[in-house]
Amino acid sequence: MKKIILLFTLFSLYANSFAQKIEYDTKSNIQYYNVAVNKSDNYINERCILDIYYPKNTKNFATIIWFHGGGLTGGSKEIPEDLKNKGFAIIGVNYRLSPKVKAEKAIEDAAAAIAWTFNNIANYGGDASQIFVSGHSAGGYLALMTGLDKKWLQKEGIDANKIAGLIPFSGQCITHFEIRRENGIPEKQPTIDTFAPLFHVRADAPPLLLITGDRELEMLGRYEENAYMARMMKLVGHTQTKLYELDGYGHGMTEPGFPLLVNEVNRILKEKQTKK
């Protein structure tokens, strides 16, 4: 027994020392539109920026794009602490907000930020085939819209199916309430149109992990929207859709959700490696 404990201790020390060798760097306020677009619009120039936190002495790492919440009317880019030091790059994205612009502009910006990542992550050492898209609430909605409705990324010359995985936290699956408000539709009037992720269910989408809080504590039927999304994705033939409901947690359920995000990223990376 003592030998086993000694070996385990030595292994732990080795693993910890290896982990400590990974160093991370952060680059802030990178503009993800090109110079001409930035010069043409002061709000884009001010708002459409991202931060990247990445392992600087490793190669071919995976990247998680994180879109902040705030109802498409507020919020600011962030690099979640619980995602740091996991061997991944994390990209926190700002996007334009309603009512200064129409809410759909946030989807355009999200697609532009994803395209920037595909086009630039190799410059930091990352692997463009290992880009995951996530976010909370409005950010989860943006992840779903850009990943399921292929037109947004097509405008940027990117195939949405190149995304390695979609992992929205409490994302709206019907038409976002801010878009409904802009069109005079009441907050509690469910609507499914082209601005609803549910409108774009398809069998060939990237792997999809939906995470919500407790159905009795969540915002306005958010769990049920995600449950309907999971069911419809499966019915159209999507074979990699999962839904997690975090019992006891309300809409602000990011902290218990982060380990699920990390596990899903690692699962998909392992699956990709096995197929090589």
Q: Where are the domains of the chain?
A: 24-275
Mean pLDDT estimate for the chain:
93
Check residue 13 and give its pLDDT.
45
Q: What beta strand segments (E) does 17-81 contain?
A: 24-31, 49-55, 61-67
Sheet of 61-67: strand order equals 24-31, 49-55, 89-93, 61-67, 126-136, 165-169, 208-213, 241-246
Q: Are 142 and 67 in contact (CB under 8 A)?
A: yes
Check residue 33 and give its pLDDT.
98
Whole-structure pTM value? 0.92
| Long-range own/partner contacts, residues 179-183 (CB < 8 A, 24 or more apart) | 179/72, 179/103, 179/104, 182/98, 182/102, 182/103
Q: What span, in angstroms and rounded, lies between the C-alpha atoms of 175 and 197? A: 7
Percent of the chain with pLDDT over 90: 89
Q: With bands split at pLDDT 50, 70 and 90, how would you rate the model's confidence at 272?
A: confident
- Residues 6+ positions from 185 with CB-CB distance below 8 Å: 175, 191
Q: With bands split at pLDDT 50, 70 and 90, how would you rate the model's confidence at 238?
A: very high
The C-alpha angle with vertex 211 and arms to 198 and 50, in degrees rounded to 5, equals: 85
Q: What span, in angstroms and rounded, lies between the C-alpha atoms of 252 and 117? A: 27
Check residue 57 and give its pLDDT.
87
pLDDT, tens digit, for every residue of 179-206? 999 999 999 999 999 999 999 999 999 9
Q: What span, in angstroms and rounded, lies between the C-alpha atoms of 7 and 139? A: 44
How does DSSP classify residue 206?
P
Tell which CATH classification among 3.90.230.10, 3.40.50.1820, 3.40.50.300, 1.10.760.10 matches the domain 24-275: 3.40.50.1820
pLDDT, tens digit, for every residue of 150-161? 999 999 999 999
Half-sphere exposure of 60 (CA within 13 A, CB side): 2
Residue 243 pLDDT exceeds 80: yes
Q: What span, in angstroms and rounded, lies between the C-alpha atoms of 152 and 163? A: 13
Check residue 21 and give its pLDDT.
82
Mean pLDDT of 142-154: 98
The C-alpha angle with vertex 169 and arms to 144 and 150, in degrees rounded to 5, equals: 10
Q: With bands split at pLDDT 50, 70 and 90, how would you rate the model's confidence at 20?
A: low
pLDDT, tens digit, for every residue of 225-237? 999 999 999 999 9
